[in-house]
């Protein structure tokens, strides 16, 4: 799975699920396109309008800490962000993202600046910063997660295999 | 090599000897969802081709986060949950019954050695009962409801050994805030936290639930304790089931063992906007407070309300403060009524709201205004958490919150406790 995109950098640790999608919105609707318009709003009020389909979000340590609500990875996904890179992810967010088909990469994001163009090969676990001409080491995803991601998320995995097949 | 508590529970539920780093598929003993997560889980359940839940006695949904519903959008989601439960013949806890993390332990379905998932990050609360309980998202919940099992990466464990005796006026909440401040918000990410030592043994089961509840605030998958006589006595009030307590082996491997002497611990406060931004109360005394909140899955139990009432009894809260109290469950509310606690709280000026998550998540009940300071017994003070990103939330024990509601500024409860005695 190879992807290319532009980096939107949030240069801080512990970006929590309330920052990703504020509690004000996430209880009201199951319409994820509507939620997506408010993604990252408390950190950057105009973020949604800056996204071009396929772009990446880049964060620091412990990205996605806080709530178990899948509205957080879904808001990112429905905002047409194709991938999140961070130094580390909070555990529940990490699972939720994979289950809903949003790929994640753990790597040293200090080597990425806002606007950098990145090329990511998920299965090989390679991130190339095309703007800076460097290659960044990544922590590979566990095999079960790659299986789920390759099936298109856990729901698609269930439909395909009639249950867990990990 | 010996095993930790979590390695033993994952072994007994997966049929293989599990050690940290392994990936196992484990049988689930109980599955819970709340109204913030269940609607998406129902959608995922249908999307997965689910027909029935794997065992109707082992699944329950709880309406607690926006309870009663504040608007049509939420009402429609609640309706979806009620219809799903009726159709699948599973238990629903409807409005007024309380917070999931109080109701599930009160149901007697959780105890030593059990494996529970809940679509709420604070499901780790049940680790206080020597269970492996962890928060998951809606899609995992749906998969669990259909298959009755889920895959887990067996986590490494950090052991927190708490020596000594907590001083008067210092509680489980202060202890867990202190530990989170020490290891930081991602100090236990991808790990389990085992809490032990005489200070933990001395806590009530309620106090231990407060600690286990906040394990996720250091990034942990679970916060666990061994079971003792207190645990079994507590459980005997809710179920006749006999459980098999799980203790760690002497030679279990720990990623880290952290030792603390808590004999001189002061009341602790988490400052805005991070749970690990923790300081001794002495550094904040005098900070003005506009709203005070007692309740939530962290500190809405009878013991918490009793402590607050002992400080508020016969006094009036400061006229510049709103005090919101949300008992953790209907049973807690009834017990507190019987003891006269609710009378005391209401006479002091508290607004008692429906048992449930109340003001903690900012979806209804007590949203603060711009530039206001809130002191709360909840577990999160993220910006915007209570529904307004221009308010500041401080986290503290029920005693500190009650004392601060009386004076209108952050106040060390130890002074007031002396007066009470």
- What ipTM was assigned to the predicted interfaces of this complex? 0.95
Counting as low any pLDDT under 50, the low residues of chain A are: none
Interface test with A, best of B72, B137, B383 (most A CBs within 10 A): B137
Distance CA A76, CA A91 (A): 17
Whether A124 contacts A136, CB under 8 Å: no
What average pLDDT score do residues B231-257 get?
A: 97
Residue in the structure block whose two tokens are 């109360």:
B281
Question: Nearest-5° angle of CA B17, CA B20, CA B26?
Answer: 55
State phi, psi for B360 to the nearest 5 degrees. -60, -40
Q: Is A155 on the interface with B (CB under 8 A)?
A: yes
Q: Which residues contact B359 (CB under 8 A, 6 or more apart)?
A: B293, B295, B324, B326, B353, B365, B366, B367, B376, B386
Contacts of B40 in chain A (CB under 8 A): 30, 69-71, 74
Q: Write down the residue that tokens 């998550």 correspond to.
A: B357
Of A42, A88, A96, the CB nearest to B139: A96
Q: How many CB atoms lie within 10 A of CB B72?
A: 9
Q: Rounded to an integer, what distance in angstroms lies between the CA atom of residue B138 and that of residue B40?
A: 6
Q: What is the pLDDT of residues B269-313, one digit of tens each?
A: 999 999 999 999 999 999 999 999 999 999 999 999 999 999 999
Q: Is the predicted pLDDT of residue B421 greater than 60, yes or no?
A: no
**Contact indicator for B373, B405 with CB cutoff of 8 Å:** no
> Which residues of A fall within a CB distance of 8 Å from B46?
none
Q: Does B384 touch chain A (CB under 8 A)?
A: yes
Distance CA B151, CA A165 (A): 10
A27, A61, A95 ranked by CB distance to B66: nearest: A27
Contact B137 A92 (CB under 8 A): yes
List pLDDT tens digits, range B388-402. Answer: 989 999 999 999 999
- Is B384 within 8 Å of A30 when comparing Cβ atoms? no
| Helix, strand, coil abundance in chain B, percent, nearest 5 | 40, 20, 40
| Range B372-385 average pLDDT | 95
pTM of the model: 0.96
What is the C-alpha separation between B331 and B336, in angstroms, rounded?
8
DSSP state of B265: P
- Cis omega (within 30 of 0) on the bond before A119? no
pLDDT the model gives residue A142: 86
Calpha distance B421→B419 (Å, rounded): 5
Cβ(B119)–Cβ(B41) below 8 Å: yes
Q: Touching check for B74 and chain A: CB below 8 Å?
A: yes
For residue B262, name the pLDDT band (cuts at 50, 70, 90): very high
Mean pLDDT of B117-136: 98
Shortest Cα distance, chain B CAs vs residue A19, angstroms: 8
Query: What's the CA gap between B279 and B283, in Å, rounded?
Result: 7
Quick one: pLDDT at residue B285? 98
What percent helix, strand, coil does chain A show, rounded to 5? 35, 25, 45
Angle between helices B229-236 and B205-213 in degrees, nearest 10? 100
Chain A residue with CA closest to B380: the answer is A66
What is the chain A residue with the closest CA to B185?
A14
Q: Tokens at residue A24, please?
A: 């004000």
Of B77, B136, B384, which is closest to A92 when you measure between CB atoms?
A: B136
Q: Report residue B24's pLDDT band, with 50, 70 and 90 as the boundaries.
A: very high
For residue B377, how far is the Cα from the chain centroid? 10
Query: Residue B229, Cβ neighbours under 10 Å: how many?
Result: 7
CA closest to B215 among chain A residues: A66
Chain B residue with minimum CA distance to A31? B40
d(CA A15, CA B235): 38
In the prediction, which pLDDT does A2 show? Answer: 85
Neighbouring CB atoms inside 10 A of A30's CB total 16
Q: With pLDDT > 70 as the criterion, what percentage of chain B qualifies?
A: 99
Can you give the pLDDT at residue B420?
Answer: 60
Test B121 with A100 for CB contact under 8 angstroms.
Answer: no
All residues at 6 or more sequence positions from B369 whose CB lies less than 8 Å from its CB, including other chains: B290, B388, B391
* Region label for B47, one of left (φ > 0), alpha (ψ between -120 and 50) or beta (otherwise): alpha
Tokens of B398: 């029920």
For all residues of chain B together, what is the average pLDDT? 96
Closest chain A residue by Cα to residue B37: A69
Share of chain B above pLDDT 90, in %: 95
Rounded to 5 degrees, what are φ and ψ at B190? 70, 10
In sequence order, the 6+-apart residues with CB closer than 8 A to the CB of A126 are A120, A135, A138
Query: CB contact, 8 Å: B156 with chain A?
Result: no
In B, minimum Cα distance to A73 occurs at: B137
Q: Tell me: the pLDDT tens digits for B200-238? A: 999 999 999 999 999 999 999 999 999 999 999 999 999
Q: What is the pLDDT of residue B260?
A: 98
Q: How far is CA A37 from the centre of its chain?
A: 16
pLDDT tens-digit series, residues A23-36: 777 677 788 999 99
Q: Does B284 touch chain A (CB under 8 A)?
A: no
Q: Are B377 and B404 in contact (CB under 8 A)?
A: no
Point out the residue among A23, A62, A154 whose CB comes nearest to the CB of B189. A62
Minimum-distance CB partner of A70 among B137, B147, B221? B137
**H or E stretch covering B332:** helix B330-338
Listed by number, the residues of chain B in 261-280 with a beta carbon closer than 8 Å to a beta carbon of chain A are 274
For A151, the token pair is 């099936």
What is the band of B98 on the pLDDT scale with cuts at 50, 70, 90?
A: very high
Identify whether the C-beta of residue A154 lies closer than 8 Å to the C-beta of residue A148: yes
Strands (E), chain A: 2-9, 56-58, 83-86, 104-107, 117-121, 126-129, 134-139
- C-alpha–C-alpha distance, residues B98 and B354, integer Å: 8
Nearest to B313 by CA among B338, B355, B354, B342: B342
Quote the pLDDT of residue A122: 85
Which chain A residues in 14-73 lie under 8 Å from chain B, judged by CB atoms?
A: 14, 16, 18-19, 22-24, 26-30, 42, 61-62, 65-71, 73
Cα-based angle B183, A89, B186 (whole degrees, multiple of 5): 5
Confidence class for position B145, pLDDT limits 50, 70, 90? very high
Partner residue facing A92 (CB), from B48, B135, B146:
B135
A158/B143 CB distance under 8 A: yes
- For B367, which residue in chain A has the nearest alpha carbon? A24
Tokens 């999160």: give the residue. Answer: B380
What pLDDT, on the 0 to 100 scale, is given for residue B295? 97
**With 0-12 CB in 10 A as exposed, 13-18 as middle and 19+ as buried, what is B57?**
exposed
Q: Work out the minimum CA distance from B172 to partner chain A, whole angstroms.
A: 21
Is the CB of A67 less than 8 angstroms away from the CB of B121? yes
């Amino acid at each position: 799975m190879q992807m290319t995109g532009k980096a939107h950098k949030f240069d801080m640790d512990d970006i929590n699920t309330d920052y990703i999608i504020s509690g004000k919105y996430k209880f009201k609707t199951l319409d994820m396109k509507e939620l997506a318009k408010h993604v990252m709003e408390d950190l950057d009020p105009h973020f949604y309008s800056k996204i071009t389909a396929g772009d990446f979000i880049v964060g620091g340590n412990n990205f996605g800490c806080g709530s178990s609500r899948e509205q957080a990875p879904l808001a990112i996904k429905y905002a047409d962000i194709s991938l999140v890179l961070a130094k580390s992810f909070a555990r529940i967010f990490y699972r939720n993202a994979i289950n809903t088909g949003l790929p994640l990469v753990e790597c040293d994001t200090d080597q990425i600046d806002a606007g950098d163009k990145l090329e990511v090969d998920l299965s090989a676990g390679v991130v190339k910063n095309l703007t800076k001409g460097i290659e960044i080491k990544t922590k590979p995803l566990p095999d079960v997660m790659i299986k789920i991601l390759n099936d298109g998320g856990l729901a698609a995995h269930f439909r395909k295999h009639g249950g867990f097949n990990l | 090599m010996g095993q930790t508590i979590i390695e033993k529970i994952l072994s007994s539920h997966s049929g293989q000897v599990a050690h940290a780093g392994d990936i196992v598929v484990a049988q689930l003993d109980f599955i819970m969802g709340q109204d913030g997560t269940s609607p998406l889980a129902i959608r995922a359940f249908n999307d997965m081709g689910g027909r029935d839940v794997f065992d109707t006695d082992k699944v329950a949904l709880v309406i607690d986060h926006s309870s009663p519903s504040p608007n049509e959008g939420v009402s429609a989601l609640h309706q979806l949950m009620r219809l799903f439960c009726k159709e699948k013949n599973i238990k629903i806890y409807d409005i007024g019954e309380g917070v999931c993390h109080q109701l599930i332990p009160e149901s007697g379905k959780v105890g030593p050695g059990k494996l529970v998932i809940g679509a709420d990050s604070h499901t780790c609360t049940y680790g206080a009962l020597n269970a492996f309980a962890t928060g998951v998202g809606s899609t995992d919940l749906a998969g669990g409801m259909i298959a009755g099992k889920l895959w887990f990466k067996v986590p490494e464990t950090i052991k927190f050994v708490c020596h000594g005796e907590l001083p008067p006026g210092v509680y489980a909440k202060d202890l867990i805030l202190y530990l989170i401040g020490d290891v930081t918000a991602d100090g236990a990410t991808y790990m389990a936290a085992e809490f032990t030592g005489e200070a933990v043994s001395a806590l009530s089961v309620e106090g231990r639930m407060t600690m286990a509840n906040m394990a996720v605030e250091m990034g942990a998958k679970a916060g666990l304790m061994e079971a003792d006589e207190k645990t079994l006595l507590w459980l005997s009030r809710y179920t006749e089931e006999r459980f098999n307590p799980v203790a760690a082996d002497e030679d279990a491997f720990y990623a880290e063992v952290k030792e603390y002497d808590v004999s001189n611990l002061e009341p602790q406060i988490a400052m805005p906007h991070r749970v690990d931004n923790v300081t001794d109360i002495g550094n904040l005394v005098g900070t003005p407070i506009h709203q005070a909140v007692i309740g939530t899955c962290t500190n809405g139990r009878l013991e918490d309300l009793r402590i607050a009432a002992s400080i508020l009894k016969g006094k009036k809260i400061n006229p510049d403060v709103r005090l919101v109290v949300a008992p953790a469950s209907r049973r807690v509310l009834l017990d507190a009524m019987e003891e006269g606690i609710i009378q005391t709280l209401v006479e002091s000026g508290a607004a008692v709201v429906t048992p449930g998550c109340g003001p903690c998540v900012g979806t209804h009940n007590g949203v603060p205004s711009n530039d206001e300071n809130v002191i709360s017994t909840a577990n999160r003070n993220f910006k915007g958490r209570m529904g307004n990103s221009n308010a500041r939330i401080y986290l503290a024990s029920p005693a500190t919150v009650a004392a601060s509601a009386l004076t209108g500024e952050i106040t060390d409860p130890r002074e007031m406790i002396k007066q009470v005695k």
